[in-house]
């Protein structure tokens, strides 16, 4: 039995037809965790959908009304890049409920993993990039409203920048000077061409500190400032990525002490991802997960996990990367 809970429902499936987003991945992760003996049936908890009141903690009433009544404009539906249906809206309400439960479980057990969620491109007033509702933001605001947490930190390792997260939790308007510790650029012996190096920049945070590590030359074109953005060059591999992540985590935790860390464990920095341009291996991605869990564990910060993107040419690779996140959490928790 795992020392933490996995949050899952068959209702996480997104009814979007043939699509680059592998909507069946959630069920496949669930099945593989059981088949490989990583988890047992009683390690899983079934979430309830978030209430409309929960959703309204983050999203504008006009947008929520459109989603509930099916009145998105064709432009809004196109921007979301997934076909609207009432069933699809239900799946997003359930994902938000799953993230709320995962966050509560993280406070109880140190870690809580939702086998879903991580819809970081959803904005208060519209959806984008396969994301309708920002489940992680809803979970943070709900736990704050309940007085369970005061502050949170998002650590977004999806290959795409967390533009919805940055907007929802935007701090001071002005972008601050680049952080003094400019990452592990000295590790790289590549030509002194700054375009080939990563870049770390930051803005001030209020009650939620946002970190995003992403490929610079990728969606979204407009990247609203997170508290720390690490703009990674195309094609970087495991070692450079891990050094940047380590650096971003230490910088973030020097500036901010969160009551909860929300880790978005996107599988799309993988070298064979169809929508990503980094070169991480499956082993490197597991090390990434271990690093996040280890750093949080050392500081006694509870971690809630959501899965965000993953578009590997072979769906089984995406499933394996996501299953490895559970294994990494198990290993780190049992080692300490
Ligand atoms: Zn992504």
**Residue 336 CA, ligand 1 centroid: distance in Å:** 31
Mean pLDDT of 207-233: 96
Query: What pLDDT sits at residue 18?
Result: 87
| For residue 173, pLDDT beyond 60 | no
- Only one residue has tokens 């939620």, namely 208
Q: How far, in Å, is the centroid of ligand 1 from the Cα of 208?
A: 21
pLDDT surpassing 50 at residue 181 = no
Centre of ligand 1 from the C-alpha of residue 230, in Å:
15
Nearest partner of 155 among 328, 38, 301, 282, judged by Cα = 301
| 255 confidence band (pLDDT: 50, 70, 90) | confident
Is a pLDDT exceeding 50 seen at residue 140?
yes
Whether residue 144 has pLDDT greater than 80? yes
pLDDT band at 216 (very low <50, low <70, confident <90, very high): very high
In angstroms, what is the span from residue 266 Cα to ligand 1's centroid? 6
Say what the pLDDT of residue 197 is.
64
Give the Å distance between the CA of 166 and the centre of ligand 1: 15
Angle in degrees, 0-180, between the axes of helices 238-255 and 282-298, rounded to the nearest 10: 20
Ligand 1 mean position, distance from CA 23 (Å): 14
CA 335 to centroid of ligand 1, rounded, Å: 30
Per-chain residues with Cβ under 5 A from ion ligand 1: 158, 160, 266, 268, 309
Predicted pLDDT at 182 = 43
**Percent of the chain clearing pLDDT 70 (strictly above):** 91
Distance 277 CA to ligand 1 centre (A): 11
Residue 78 pLDDT > 90, yes or no? yes
Give 186-214 pLDDT, tens digit per residue: 444 343 344 446 787 777 778 999 999 99
DSSP string of 120-153, one letter each residue? TT--SS--BTTBSS-HHHHHHHHHHHTTS-S-EE
Please tell me the distance between residue 247's alpha carbon and the centre of ligand 1 in angstroms: 21
Tell whether the model's pLDDT for residue 108 goes beyond 50. yes
Ligand 1 mean position to 216 CA, how many Å?
A: 12
pLDDT tens readout for residues 52-63 = 999 999 999 999
Please give the model's pTM, rounded to 2 decimal places: 0.93
d(CA 197, ligand 1 centre) in Å: 21
Ligand 1 centroid to 275 CA: how many Å? 7
pLDDT digits (tens, 9 = 90+) for 319-331: 999 999 999 999 9
pLDDT at position 178 over 70: no
Query: Look-up: residue for tokens 């099916």?
Result: 70
- CA–centroid distance, 52 to ligand 1, in Å, is 26
pLDDT at 172: 54
The pLDDT assigned to 193 comes to: 40
**How confident is the model at residue 198, as a pLDDT?**
74
Ligand 1 midpoint to CA 1 (Å): 31
Whole-number mean pLDDT of the chain? Answer: 92
Rounded to the nearest angstrom, the distance between the alpha carbon of 198 and the centre of ligand 1 is 18
Distance 318 CA to ligand 1 centre (A): 12
Beta strand 228-232 pairing with 199-202: antiparallel
Task: Say if residue 81's pLDDT is above 50.
Answer: yes
- Residues pairing with 175 in the sheet: 203
User: For 19, what's the count of Cα atoms within 13 Å in the CB-facing half-sphere?
Assistant: 18
pLDDT reading at 86 higher than 80: yes
- Does residue 216 or residue 200 have the better pLDDT? 216
- If you measure from the C-alpha of residue 313 to the centroid of ligand 1, how many angstroms do you get, rounded to a whole number? 14
Handedness of CA 311, 251, 100, 223 (dihedral sign): negative
* pLDDT surpasses 70 at 276: yes
Residue 136 pLDDT: 98
């Amino acid at each position: 039995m795992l020392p933490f809970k996995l949050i899952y429902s068959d209702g996480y499936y997104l009814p979007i037809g043939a699509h680059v987003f592998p909507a069946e991945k959630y069920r496949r992760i669930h099945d593989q965790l059981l088949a490989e003996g990583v988890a047992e049936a009683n390690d899983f908890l079934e979430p309830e959908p978030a209430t409309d009141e929960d959703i309204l903690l983050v999203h504008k009433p006009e947008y929520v009304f459109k989603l509930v009544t099916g009145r998105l404009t064709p432009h809004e539906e196109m921007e979301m890049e997934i076909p609207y249906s009432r069933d699809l809206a239900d799946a997003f309400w359930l994902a938000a409920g799953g993230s709320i439960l995962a966050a509560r479980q993280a406070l109880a057990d140190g870690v809580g993993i939702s086998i879903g969620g991580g819809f970081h491109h959803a904005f208060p007033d519209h959806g984008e990039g396969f994301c309708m509702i920002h489940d992680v933001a809803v979970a943070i605001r709900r736990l704050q409203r309940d007085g369970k947490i005061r502050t949170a930190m998002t650590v977004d390792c999806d290959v795409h920048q967390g533009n919805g997260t940055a907007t929802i939790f935007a701090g001071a308007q002005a972008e601050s000077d680049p952080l003094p510790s400019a990452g592990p650029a000295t590790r790289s012996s590549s030509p002194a061409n700054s375009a080939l190096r990563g870049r770390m920049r930051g803005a001030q945070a209020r009650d939620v500190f946002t970190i995003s590590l992403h490929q610079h030359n990728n969606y979204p074109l407009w990247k609203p400032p997170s508290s720390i953005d690490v703009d990674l060059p195309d094609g970087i591999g495991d070692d450079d990525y891990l050094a940047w992540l380590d650096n971003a985590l230490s910088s973030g935790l020097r500036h901010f002490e969160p009551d909860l860390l929300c880790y978005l464990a996107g599988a799309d920095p993988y070298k064979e991802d169809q929508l990503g341009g980094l070169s991480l291996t499956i082993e490197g991605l597991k090390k990434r997960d271990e690093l996040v869990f280890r750093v949080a564990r050392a500081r006694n910060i509870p971690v809630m996990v959501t899965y965000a993107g993953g578009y590997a040419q072979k769906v089984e690779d995406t499933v394996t990367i996501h299953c490895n996140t559970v294994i990494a959490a198990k290993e780190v928790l049992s080692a300490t």
